[in-house]
Structure 1
Amino acid sequence: MKGTVLICCFLSLLLLQATAAEEEEEEEEEEVEEFISTLRDRSHIDETLRLATEEKSGDYGAAIERLRKIYHTSIKPMEQAYKYNELRQHEISDGEITSKPMVLFLGPWSVGKSSMINYLLGMHDSAYQLYTGAEPTTSEFTVITHGEKIRSVEGIVMAADSSRSFSPLEKFGQNFLEKLVGIEMPHKLLERVTFVDTPGIIENRKQQERGYPFNDVCQWFIDRADLIFVVFDPTKLDVGLELEMLFRQLKGRESQIRIILNKADNLVTQDLMRVYGALFWSLAPLINVTEPPRVYVSSFWPYDYAADTSRDLFKREEISLLEDLNQVIENRMENKIAFIRQHGIRVRIHGLLVDRYVQTFKEKMSYFSDPELVFKEIVDDPDKFYIFKSILAKTNVSKFDLPTKTAYQDFFGVNPVSNFKPLTAQCSYMGGCLLDKIERAITNELPALLSSINSGKQPGLSSCEATGCGEKPKNRYRKN
C-alpha cells in the first residue's frame, strides 16, 4: 500500500513539472511574439534605396576602366616624375579607383553608430551583428563590405591584399592593423556601398593610449569617404578637445558631413527641441561655414519608436537620410570622376611649381655659386623669386589651390632639386609631354567621360588612345 502511494506521488510530481514546463514554454513563445511585434517595419529601406532594382553593371564597369586608363596614362606619369605622393601623402591605387562609395560613421562612444549599421543592413540578432551596449564597445575600425559569404577578415589580410583599397593603411603599423577588422556578407546594399564603423571618441583618452595614431587613421578614412555621418546622443552633447580635433580634421569636407541626433525617441518633444538648439550652439564654433550641415533627428535602430513621441517626424527624417544615402550611391561615378580630376589638378599645380623652382635654381646658379646656399635662399623666400606668382600669372590656377611655402621647404628637404627635370625635358616623341597629357585629361577627357555618363552613352576610348598617339611633342615653355 505504501509503495502504491509513493508511486502516485511520484507520478503527480512529474505531471506538475511537465505542466510547469509547458506553461514556461508558452510564456517564452508569447514573449518572442511580443518582441517580434515591436520590431520596426524595414520595407521603406529597400524601397528608398531601390535595392530591388537591377544595376547596369556593364556601363559602370566600362566607365571605371576608362577612368583608370586616363589616370594611368595622363596623371600618374607626372605624379611619379615629381614625387607628388611625398608632398600630399595620397597615392591613388587601382583599388581606390574601383572601390564603392564609402560611408563613414564618427562620433562619441555609445551614441548608436554600430546599432545604426545593424539596422540599415538588417544584422540585428545575427551572428555577425556589430556589438552594441551602453558602455564603450567598439574598439576597432570595422569595414563592412560585400562578399559571397559571411566571414570576418583580419586587418593584416586587408592591408596585404592589393586589390582592396585599404592596403595604404599598412603605414600606420601593426598595432593599428590588429584594430582593423573586415566583415564580408552577401547584401544588396553592400554591392553598392561600403560602411566603416569607428571607435567612439572618449574625451579623457589621448590617441597615444590607443597604441596607434588614431587621428591620422581617422583622417585617412575622412579623405576617402563619400558620406560622413557624425552621430550624437541627445543625452550627452558635451564637446571636448577630442571632438574639436575631429571637426578640425573635417575642415573642407563640409559637403560630405551629415549630423545625426540619434535616440531621439528617448526625449519628449519639448526637451528634444531644446537639445536640438543646444547641439547647434555647441557645434557652431567648430563648423565655420555659411550653410550648416544637414541634421537628421530620429532613432536608428530596429525596434519600434517609444510611445508618445513624434513617430511621423522620425519616420520622415529616416526616409530623408536614406534618400541622401541613395543619392551618393547613384552619383558614385560622377563623384569618382570629379575626385580624380581634382587630384589631377593638384598634381599639375605641383609639377608646375617644381618646374619653376628648378628653372629659378638654374637661372641663379653661376660657376662660383654654392648650390646648397643658392637653393636654400630660393626655398626660404620663394616670393622674392616670384615662384608662386609666376604660376598664377601663366596658368588658370587659383591661389586657393596652391600648397603652402612650408610644404615645399619640407618637400625639398628630402628631395634635392637635382633629382628633378624641368617640364621641357619631360617629353618623348611617342608619349608626348607630361604637361600636355595631364592638361588634356583635366580639360577634355575627364569632362567628356562625365558627359557620357550623364547622357547614358557607352564610354569608349578616344581615337588617340585607340591608335596610339604619335604626335610631335609641344613644349609651351620653350623659347622661340
Structure 2
Amino acid sequence: QKIYRDWFALADSDGDGRITGPDAIKFFAMSSLPRADLKQVWAIADSKRLGYLGFGEFITAMQLVSLAQAGNEISQDSLQREDLISFNPPVMEGLDAQLAKSKHLAKRVDQDMDGFPQAQGPSTNHWFNSKSSKKIPLTAVTSVIDGLKRLYIEKLKPLEVTYKFNDFVSPLLTNSDFDAKPMVMLLGQYSTGKTTFIKHLLKTSYPGAHIGPEPTTDRFVVVMSGPDERTIPGNTLAVQADMPFSGLTTFGTSFLSKFECSQMPHPLLEHITFVDTPGVLSGEKQRTQRSYEFTGVTSWFAAKCDLILLLFDPHKLDISDEFKRVIGSLRGHDDKIRVVLNKADQIDTQQLMRVYGALMWSLGKVLNTPEVSRVYIGSFNDKPVKESAVGPIGKELFEKEQDDLLSDLKDIPKKACDRRINEFVKRARAAKIHAYIIGHLKNQMPTMMGKAKAQQKLIDNLEGEFAKMEPYVYEFIADVLSPGV
C-alpha cells in the first residue's frame, strides 16, 4: 500500500486524487509492456468508464501490469485470481529516479515553508507554475466525457463567461456535471407509485422513503450511491463541489429546504441515480401553497436527466392544469419521456382496454406530437400480479411490458455518453446564438453618452432587434445542419 501510494502521488500530476489518461500513458509506459496490453489494463481497471483511476483502480492496474510482466495473459477473469494480490509490484524503468527527484523537490519546498529560504526560491515557484499551466492536447484524452470536459473548459466556457450565458440561460457547468451518473426522474400525481417503483427496482427501501395512499413525498429526493445509508439536506447538497446540483441555488432556500439526497450502497445506484418528486396535485393548492417554482425545478431536472417517467394509475387518468404545466415544462426533452400505466392489475382486462384508451386520449391533448407515446403497462411493486383479475393473458402482457421497461432502464448507462454529446452540442449552439444576440445589442449602445435612452429604446423594440438578427442566426444554423460540416 505504501509503495503504491508513493507511485500514485507521482503519477497524479494535478494532485486531485485522480490519474487521467495522459497521466496513465506517461506512467504505464515505464513498464515497457506493449501498447495493446496497456490498453487492456486501462479498460479492465477503469471498469466504470469514468475516464480516470482512483487509488483502488490504480492498485488493480499495477497488479495487472505485474501479471503481464510475468508472461500471463490479461483478461477480465484475471481479477478473480486468488494469487493476484501476492504478486510483487511491477518493474518500472526510471521510476526510482523520478521518486527521488520528487522527494527532493518536496523537501526543498518544506524548508521554504519553515522559514529557511534557499537560493533556488524562484525555480521552486516556476516548478509550481509550470505544473499548473501545462497544456495537454485533446488527442490525449482517454474517454469521451474527459474530452467533453476539456472542450468545455478550453472552448465553450470562455464564450459563456464573456457573454454572461450563465445569467440568462443556464449556470456554468462544473466537473461534477460531466462526471455525474445518468439520472432517471419520476413524475406523476400523488399515490401513483413513484416511490414504490424505485423501491421495486432496488428491492429495498431507501433512507427517508415514505409510502402511503395520501401525498407522502413532499420534497424532491435524489436517490444515489453512497458508502453508507444517510440523508443529506438540500442546502448542504447545493454547495458540494462533487455534486451536480449547484444550479438549484437559483430557486432559493425555500426550495432547498424541500430538497434532499438519500444515499445508500447498492449495485444499481452505482450506474443510475433516481429523482423522486412530490406528487402533482390538482386545483389551487398546487399553485398557492408551494413556496417555490415547481415547474421551473422540474424543467431544470429534465435538462439533467437521461430518462423521464410519467406515472399514471387507472384511478388517476385526469391531467390537472398543474400537471399539464409540468409536462409543458418538459418541452425540448420529448425523447426522454416514457409513460407508465402503473397498478394495472387492480382492474380486469375489459376495464384495462378502456383505461388505456382514456389515457391515450388525455395524453393526446397535452403531448403535442404527431407520434403515439410509448406507454408501459404493469404493476411495479413487490406484490405478485393478480392473475384472478387480469387472467393469464394479462399476466403475460404485464411481464413483457415490465421486461421492456427494465431493458430501457438498463440501456441508460450505455446511451449516457451519446446523450452527453447531444446535450453538449445543444448547449454550444445555444451559447453561440446567445453570443450573436448579446453582441448585436451591445453594438447598438453608444460608447459615451445617452446610454440610458439607447437602452430603453432597445428594450422597447426587442422584437425588431431580434428580427435584424435572424439572418445571422439562420445562417449559423444552416452551417451547422449542412452536410459535411
Q: TM-score range by the shorter chain?
A: 0.5 to 0.7
The 8 Å contact of residues 207 and 215 in structure 1, kept in 2 or not, is answered as no
Report what 2:418 is aligned to: 334
Report what 1:113 is aligned to: 194
The 8 Å contact of residues 234 and 263 in structure 1, kept in 2 or not, is answered as yes
Aligned equivalents of 2:207 and 2:50: distance in 1? Answer: 33
Q: How much does 1:82 deviate?
A: 0.5
The 8 Å contact of residues 382 and 388 in structure 1, kept in 2 or not, is answered as no
Question: What is the one-letter code of the residue matched to 1:344?
Answer: A
Of 74-83 and 145-154, the range deviating more from structure 2: 145-154
Q: Unaligned 5+ residue runs, structure 2? A: 1-43, 53-141
Q: How much does 1:58 deviate?
A: 4.6
Report what 1:164 is aligned to: 243
Q: How much does 1:67 deviate?
A: 1.4
Is 1:100–2:91 an aligned residue pair?
no
The 8 Å contact of residues 221 and 259 in structure 2, kept in 1 or not, is answered as yes
Aligned equivalents of 2:45 and 2:215: distance in 1? Answer: 39
Question: What is the one-letter code of the residue matched to 1:70?
Answer: L
Aligned equivalents of 2:423 and 2:377: distance in 1? Answer: 30
Aligned equivalents of 1:163 and 1:199: distance in 2? Answer: 25
Question: What is the one-letter code of the residue matched to 1:57?
Answer: K
Is 1:190–2:181 an aligned residue pair?
no
The 8 Å contact of residues 157 and 172 in structure 2, kept in 1 or not, is answered as no
Q: How many residues align?
A: 344
Q: How much does 1:384 deviate?
A: 5.3
The 8 Å contact of residues 357 and 387 in structure 1, kept in 2 or not, is answered as no
Which whole-Å deviations, capped at 9, do the CAs of 1:162-202 have from their partners, x for residues lacking one? 21011222232323222212111111111111100001011
Is 1:280–2:360 an aligned residue pair?
yes
The 8 Å contact of residues 281 and 320 in structure 2, kept in 1 or not, is answered as no
Is the partner of 2:254 in helix, strand or coil? Answer: helix
Is the partner of 1:285 in helix, strand or coil? Answer: helix
The 8 Å contact of residues 185 and 305 in structure 2, kept in 1 or not, is answered as yes
Q: How much does 1:60 deviate?
A: 4.2
The 8 Å contact of residues 95 and 163 in structure 1, kept in 2 or not, is answered as yes
Question: What is the one-letter code of the residue matched to 1:189?
Answer: L
Corresponding residue to 2:435 among 351, 363, 379: 351
Q: How much does 1:214 deviate?
A: 2.1
Which whole-Å deviations, capped at 9, do the CAs of 1:358-378 have from their partners, x for residues lacking one? 33446xx8x9x7333344434
Aligned equivalents of 1:182 and 1:228: distance in 2? Answer: 18
Is 1:230–2:301 an aligned residue pair?
no
Corresponding residue to 1:218 among 292, 295, 298: 298
Which whole-Å deviations, capped at 9, do the CAs of 1:12-45 have from their partners, x for residues lacking one? xxxxxxxxxxxxxxxxxxxxxxxxxxxxxxxxxx
Corresponding residue to 1:79 among 139, 160, 173: 160
Distance 1:148 1:284, change over 3 A: same
Of 78-87 and 353-362, the range deviating more from structure 2: 353-362
Aligned equivalents of 1:253 and 1:122: distance in 2? Answer: 29
Report what 2:149 is aligned to: 68
Alignment of 1:281-320 (within 5 A): 281-308=361-388, 309=390, 310-320=394-404
Report what 2:172 is aligned to: 91
The 8 Å contact of residues 298 and 330 in structure 2, kept in 1 or not, is answered as no
Aligned equivalents of 1:157 and 1:247: distance in 2? Answer: 29
Aligned equivalents of 2:252 and 2:451: distance in 1? Answer: 38
Which whole-Å deviations, capped at 9, do the CAs of 1:79-117 have from their partners, x for residues lacking one? 000001122144322211211111000000001000000
Of 60-69 and 298-307, the range deviating more from structure 2: 60-69
Distance 1:75 1:178, change over 3 A: same
Aligned equivalents of 2:190 and 2:331: distance in 1? Answer: 22
Aligned equivalents of 1:183 and 1:391: distance in 2? Answer: 47
Q: TM-score, normalised by structure 1?
A: 0.67
Is the partner of 1:160 in helix, strand or coil? Answer: coil
Report what 1:137 is aligned to: 216
Question: What is the one-letter code of the residue matched to 2:422?
Answer: A
Aligned equivalents of 2:336 and 2:477: distance in 1? Answer: 25
The 8 Å contact of residues 342 and 379 in structure 2, kept in 1 or not, is answered as yes
Q: How much does 1:383 deviate?
A: 6.5
Aligned equivalents of 1:272 and 1:167: distance in 2? Answer: 43
Question: What is the one-letter code of the residue matched to 2:326?
Answer: L
Alignment of 1:323-472 (within 5 A): 323-361=407-445, 370-381=450-461, 387-392=468-473, 395-397=475-477
The 8 Å contact of residues 104 and 225 in structure 1, kept in 2 or not, is answered as yes
Report what 1:146 is aligned to: 225
Which is higher, the Rg of structure 1 or of structure 2?
1
Report what 1:403 is aligned to: none
Is the partner of 2:366 in helix, strand or coil? Answer: coil
Question: What is the one-letter code of the residue matched to 2:190?
Answer: W
Q: How much does 1:156 deviate?
A: 2.1
Aligned equivalents of 1:68 and 1:371: distance in 2? Answer: 39
The 8 Å contact of residues 226 and 328 in structure 1, kept in 2 or not, is answered as yes
Aligned equivalents of 2:473 and 2:313: distance in 1? Answer: 47
Aligned equivalents of 2:406 and 2:190: distance in 1? Answer: 23
Aligned equivalents of 2:237 and 2:175: distance in 1? Answer: 15
Distance 1:235 1:349, change over 3 A: same
The 8 Å contact of residues 436 and 473 in structure 2, kept in 1 or not, is answered as no
Which whole-Å deviations, capped at 9, do the CAs of 1:134-187 have from their partners, x for residues lacking one? 111111111100112222222222112121011222232323222212111111
Distance 1:59 1:210, change over 3 A: closer
Q: Unaligned 5+ residue runs, structure 1? A: 1-52, 399-438, 449-480
